[in-house]
Structure 1
Amino acid sequence: MPTARNASPPGIRQNQGQIIAAENNSAAVIRETPLPWGKLSVLLAVRLSDPINFSLVLPFIYKMVSEFDVVKSPKDVAFYSGLIMASLSISQTMTVMYWGRLSDRIGRRPVILIGLVGNTATTILFGMSRSFTWALITRSMNGMFIGTSSVVKSVVVEISDDTNRPRMMAMLPLAWNLGAVVGASIGGIFADPVHQYPGLFGSSKVFATFPYLLPSLIGSIVAVFGFIMGIYQLDETLVKETCVVTAPLVPRLSTNAANELTPLVGRDVESTVVEVEQRSIRDLLTPTVIRVMTTNALMCMSVSMSDQLYPIFAATKPSDGGLGFEFRKIGYSLAISGIAVLYVQLIAYPKLALKHGVLFCYQAGMKILIPVFIAIPFLSLLADKVKSAIDVAIPDASPLLSLPAISTPWGALSLDYCLLWALLTFLLLARIAGDVLAFTSINLITANVAPSRADLGFMNGAQQMAMSFTRILGPLVSGTAWSWSIKHSLPFPFNSHFAWMLCALLMAVASYMSHTLPNSVNKFAADNRTRAGNNEISNSNAE
């Protein structure tokens, strides 16, 4: 019968051999295989470019859309902002499966490089938006190329083993979260430079015409750098999986007549290497895979809604249930989350995953996010108190633009202002911790349920497609819910809390469904299949 064998590169075979030896020796202590920093650094640079170009629009999307002619009322800005954000995810959903399957055929390297080039060009074009239509089209084009991020996950799985895979997979959300922090900071600091920095850019006609071009150009630098590193440093990791078919060796009869010395059946066996074909979609969609994809979709739906909701919530007036921040303050608040990323991603998560398993970490992340989503809208009450007091002390003052000085007549307000930022910082740090636990774990779980390495591209592509689909609905649902809630004077929870409560509800359902997953999702199934094939070959040879 056919037996599986993975034609892996020497480094991967060595890693697998270390694990097999440790399994065979009950007294052996499994040690983590050293990380391949050369290849990993290239992947991190590639991975970093996507979130930077994605998140740099968040601080100024509210102001950008409010300047388009299509907006008739400030309360409609959230809806049209949601359309622009959803357009990226629509295009990503339509193309992500294509990129995953294409990488299984032509290789990981060319697909990643194509995505970097497209990401750079479309981000710059989006920065030149002067109309809603242009912004919608260029954002959609950008979504076509960021779907290649699922291929990076396949490469990480292919260059890792069970001992270092949790740490390497943790690097991907780390790059994403750091990139999101950097991107949000770039968008908040460099948007509309003519008015923010008149001394430097006051005479620039280009940036006066395209106020959001500068952050787009700066954000694209990382993608260009990643492309250059990919050209010279990124090796192809796709290895066709094969199986060994053993059969009795039957001699060919010559034209001469056979005599009594001619054996009827050969005693030796002949080995034929046959490439393993990719499974059909129906074969891959097992009950466990379907449950993984469903809870992943619900979790991503909740997070994508909150990602779109927060900058709109922060920019909305406190009287309408927001914080009243201008886009630079929104960028600063988004950058706060970077404080927790390094510790949670590099130190806490690998230890938790090795001790408790990735399924436990996934469930813990969602349990953290539920109360965070419920608590965030209550900050508007404190922001409204600060804004009202500032209006009394300084008429026509901009809301929350600077920290009130203690020496001013209304210096006591600084206590409420500091409390607002302290609570906001705590909630954003908790939110990023939950994001890291949930997304890192679901990436590992998705790879773990892949039956073979030949199906990794499909599995990661399917996960990315599910995430992209929820990112279509997320901005639309959250934007519509927010606009509806602030237009109507309804009691709690149908007031400005309504959209945040929807996020918490979806996360609660995803958390409940995650408890139906088996503990087998904690291990990489493809390696188990490979070891079983190797053991079967060894037993056959021994017989």
Structure 2
Amino acid sequence: MSREVDEQTPLLRAPDSERHTEEQDVEPERTPLPWRQLATLLVIQISEPLTSQVISPFAPQLIRDVGVTNGDEAQVGFYVGLLHSLFFATEALTIFHWSRISDRIGRKPVLLIGLFGLSISMYCFGLAKTFWGLILSRCFNGALNGNIGVMRSMIAEITDSTNVAEAFAYLPFTWSAGTTLGPLIGGSLSHPAERFPSLFGNLDFFKEYPYFLPCAVPATVSALCWATTYIFLDETVKTSTPVTKLFRPRKESGSPASSVTDSPISSSSSVSSDGIQPDNSDKPLPLRGVLVPRVILASSSYAAIALVDIAFRTVQPVYYATPVSMGGLGLDTPTIGTILAVLGMGIGVCQIFFFPRLYYLMGPRNLYMFCVFTYLPMIALFPILNSMAREQGLSSSVWVCICLQVATTILASFAYGVTPIYINASAPNKASIGATNGFAQTLVSIMRAIGPAAANSAFSISMENNYMGGNLVYYIMAGMVSLGIFVSVLLPRQVWRD
């Protein structure tokens, strides 16, 4: 149908491409952030980094105390990496299922289960006297924890394209608050009977369990977060299924029953050949419908940066604690805790003030690529610092380089603000955001299980056998960075828009 033409109709029409450019130049009005819900999620999130990072300063000494290395200092790094890896290995087995369940029964019940698991497992970790006790508590922690994927899904559901970058900038802030407070708590409260004899010197319990106090603090915080979630958090899945219905036997009918255990094969008839479901956007898709190419690519970007980051983060405290003669810096536990705390605080502050601006200025792909490249100088500083310490001791120039390494780590952390935006935009439909985040978090958990064990094992082997001058681990970590660079090239310049 032709348009009506009158005396006000322009004689020459602008090409479609020009009109599209003009529309893009008009910046839409930014939607205010839903602060009540967002603030509740930020409070909840602090529990996870707090519980994961509190063990970092004292983990090397804890491994020595339980006697699993039989006095072999070169094996400390391997067992520390194993402790970190076990949490993510068990999380990888369950987190996708927790995320899919959250699409059905709602986000809030899954968050409550995860917070309960964090609290109980940390109390158990502080009471463990054997290496097997430490392993069981970490596995219990990972198996019940599906919180991070669910929280990312909730943020996507309470925001839109105009404020999503700002919202995800605050998410790393609370994560960084946890990574800041965690090392401070772990470094200052371990062995309280020795550090604070006037308060704890007469209590035999803290002499028998010297690591219970730093573990009890995040365990109690998780319990308080459980109460906060139960009271203040609003459910975002409006058509959630009652939990009791999941355990009832399905009735035989002509159509497949709608339950979390629906078979992907039996439900795949509603999914088109390209993996996108055109209709039923209010219903969660089966697994086959979720695993479309753009979901896999977005999830891979998250997994790639997580692999590099977790390898760096687990080697960093072990490297700081290792004697200079064996390739490290020989720092004590409180100093390590302070460095890690400053790093966490810097990440949180810089995320809030600089990430949204850089995101809109550089674009998501360019910012992600820049962050990945930043890991190369961070890794290169490890052997440089050891060489300087061998020649000069812990001189002022060594501390300047440590500060430089902390600064580059802060820059690299901006990648964690980019990846959830890609992941949520890649979801095939709104009802499958939880499953999409769950799949991404599963890949990340696998990488975080591989990264610490691989990096710290390589660190131990490098020290024992002096492979590549003791620098084998740094070449391996550089190879991990190259994987992230490859993924960054495949990402679209802007996030997908349906």
For this structure pair, what is the TM-score category when the shorter chain's length is used for normalisation?
A: 0.7 to 0.9
Q: Which residue of 2 aligns with 1:189?
A: 188
Task: State which of 446, 463, 479 in structure 1 corresponds to 2:456.
Answer: 479
**2:312 maps to amino acid:** S
Does residue 292 (structure 1) correspond to residue 292 (structure 2)? The answer is: no
Using the TM superposition, give the Cα deviation of residue 426 of structure 1 relative to its aligned residue in structure 2, in angstroms. 1.8
Aligned pairs for 1:337-376 (under 5 A) are 337-376=343-382
Task: State which of 395, 399, 407 in structure 2 corresponds to 1:417.
Answer: 395
Does residue 309 (structure 1) correspond to residue 315 (structure 2)? The answer is: yes
**1:428 maps to amino acid:** V
**1:426 maps to amino acid:** L
Q: Secondary structure, in 3 states, of the residue corresponding to 2:78?
A: helix
Partners of 1:214 and 1:386 in 2: how far apart?
37
Give CA deviations for 1:50-72 in whole Å, capped at 9, x if unaligned.
00000000000000001123212
Q: Any conservation in 2 of the 1:318–1:380 contact (CA below 8 Å)?
A: yes
Distance 1:278-1:386 versus aligned 2 partners, 3 A rule: same
**1:356 maps to amino acid:** M
**1:134 maps to amino acid:** G
Give CA deviations for 1:193-224 in whole Å, capped at 9, x if unaligned.
11222232211211111111111111223212
Task: State which of 441, 444, 463 in structure 2 corresponds to 1:467.
Answer: 444
Instruction: Give 5+ residue unaligned stretches, structure 1.
Output: 1-21, 242-272, 388-415, 529-543
Partners of 1:504 and 1:489 in 2: how far apart?
18
Using the TM superposition, give the Cα deviation of residue 286 of structure 1 relative to its aligned residue in structure 2, in angstroms. 2.5
Partners of 1:23 and 1:145 in 2: how far apart?
48
Q: Any conservation in 1 of the 2:103–2:434 contact (CA below 8 Å)?
A: yes
Judge which range, 161-170 or 333-342, deviates more.
Answer: 333-342
Q: Any conservation in 1 of the 2:177–2:345 contact (CA below 8 Å)?
A: no
Sequence identity of aligned pairs in percent? 28
Q: Which residue of 2 aligns with 1:430?
A: 408
Judge which range, 180-189 or 144-153, deviates more.
Answer: 144-153
Q: Which residue of 2 aligns with 1:319?
A: 325
Aligned pairs for 1:277-288 (under 5 A) are 277-288=283-294
Task: State which of 501, 510, 534 in structure 1 corresponds to 2:484.
Answer: 510
Instruction: Give 5+ residue unaligned stretches, structure 2.
Output: 1-19, 241-278
Aligned pairs for 1:143-154 (under 5 A) are 143-154=142-153
Q: Secondary structure, in 3 states, of the residue corresponding to 2:469?
A: coil
Q: Which residue of 1 aligns with 2:265?
A: none
**2:32 maps to amino acid:** P
Using the TM superposition, give the Cα deviation of residue 344 of structure 1 relative to its aligned residue in structure 2, in angstroms. 2.1
Distance 1:52-1:488 versus aligned 2 partners, 3 A rule: same
Task: State which of 477, 482, 489 in structure 1 corresponds to 2:466.
Answer: 489
Aligned pairs for 1:9-48 (under 5 A) are 29-48=27-46
Q: Any conservation in 2 of the 1:194–1:207 contact (CA below 8 Å)?
A: yes
Q: Any conservation in 2 of the 1:127–1:212 contact (CA below 8 Å)?
A: yes
Give CA deviations for 1:350-371 in whole Å, capped at 9, x if unaligned.
0111233222221111111122
Aligned pairs for 1:128-207 (under 5 A) are 128-207=127-206
Using the TM superposition, give the Cα deviation of residue 383 of structure 1 relative to its aligned residue in structure 2, in angstroms. 2.5
Using the TM superposition, give the Cα deviation of residue 282 of structure 1 relative to its aligned residue in structure 2, in angstroms. 2.5
Give CA deviations for 1:244-302 in whole Å, capped at 9, x if unaligned.
xxxxxxxxxxxxxxxxxxxxxxxxxxxxx967432232333223332333343232212
Q: Which residue of 2 aligns with 1:110?
A: 109
Partners of 2:329 and 2:484 in 1: how far apart?
29
Give CA deviations for 1:148-176 in whole Å, capped at 9, x if unaligned.
22100011000001010011112212211
Q: Secondary structure, in 3 states, of the residue corresponding to 1:195?
A: helix
Q: Any conservation in 2 of the 1:45–1:222 contact (CA below 8 Å)?
A: no
Partners of 2:84 and 2:349 in 1: how far apart?
30
Distance 1:297-1:208 versus aligned 2 partners, 3 A rule: same
Q: Which residue of 1 aligns with 2:275?
A: none
Partners of 1:503 and 1:27 in 2: how far apart?
41
Using the TM superposition, give the Cα deviation of residue 122 of structure 1 relative to its aligned residue in structure 2, in angstroms. 0.6
Distance 1:353-1:203 versus aligned 2 partners, 3 A rule: same
Q: Which residue of 2 aligns with 1:449?
A: 426
Q: Secondary structure, in 3 states, of the residue corresponding to 1:163?
A: coil
**2:163 maps to amino acid:** N
Distance 1:301-1:274 versus aligned 2 partners, 3 A rule: closer
Partners of 1:302 and 1:274 in 2: how far apart?
38
Q: Which residue of 1 aligns with 2:224?
A: 225
Q: Which residue of 1 aligns with 2:269?
A: none
Partners of 1:349 and 1:429 in 2: how far apart?
15
Q: Any conservation in 2 of the 1:181–1:335 contact (CA below 8 Å)?
A: yes
**2:315 maps to amino acid:** L
Using the TM superposition, give the Cα deviation of residue 26 of structure 1 relative to its aligned residue in structure 2, in angstroms. 7.4
Judge which range, 56-65 or 221-230, deviates more.
Answer: 221-230
Q: Any conservation in 2 of the 1:301–1:467 contact (CA below 8 Å)?
A: yes
Using the TM superposition, give the Cα deviation of residue 339 of structure 1 relative to its aligned residue in structure 2, in angstroms. 4.3
**1:327 maps to amino acid:** T
Judge which range, 168-177 or 232-241, deviates more.
Answer: 232-241
Give CA deviations for 1:413-441 in whole Å, capped at 9, x if unaligned.
xxx53222221022112112202x11111
Distance 1:39-1:24 versus aligned 2 partners, 3 A rule: farther
Distance 1:323-1:222 versus aligned 2 partners, 3 A rule: same
Using the TM superposition, give the Cα deviation of residue 308 of structure 1 relative to its aligned residue in structure 2, in angstroms. 1.1
Q: Which residue of 2 aligns with 1:78?
A: 77
Q: TM-score, normalised by structure 1?
A: 0.77
Partners of 1:23 and 1:128 in 2: how far apart?
62
Judge which range, 27-36 or 313-322, deviates more.
Answer: 27-36
Distance 1:515-1:138 versus aligned 2 partners, 3 A rule: same
Q: Which residue of 2 aligns with 1:249?
A: none
Q: Any conservation in 1 of the 2:304–2:487 contact (CA below 8 Å)?
A: no
Q: Any conservation in 1 of the 2:300–2:440 contact (CA below 8 Å)?
A: no
Q: Any conservation in 2 of the 1:323–1:383 contact (CA below 8 Å)?
A: yes
Does residue 62 (structure 1) correspond to residue 39 (structure 2)? The answer is: no
Q: Which residue of 1 aligns with 2:4?
A: none
Using the TM superposition, give the Cα deviation of residue 341 of structure 1 relative to its aligned residue in structure 2, in angstroms. 2.0
Partners of 2:43 and 2:469 in 1: how far apart?
42
Q: Which residue of 2 aligns with 1:6?
A: none
Q: Which residue of 2 aligns with 1:500?
A: 474
How many residues align? The count is: 440
Q: Secondary structure, in 3 states, of the residue corresponding to 2:87?
A: helix
Partners of 1:476 and 1:31 in 2: how far apart?
47
Q: Which residue of 1 aligns with 2:493?
A: 519
Q: Secondary structure, in 3 states, of the residue corresponding to 2:46?
A: helix
Partners of 1:339 and 1:29 in 2: how far apart?
32
Using the TM superposition, give the Cα deviation of residue 343 of structure 1 relative to its aligned residue in structure 2, in angstroms. 3.7
Query: Please, what is the CA RMSD of the aligned residues?
Result: 2.1
Q: Secondary structure, in 3 states, of the residue corresponding to 1:336?
A: helix
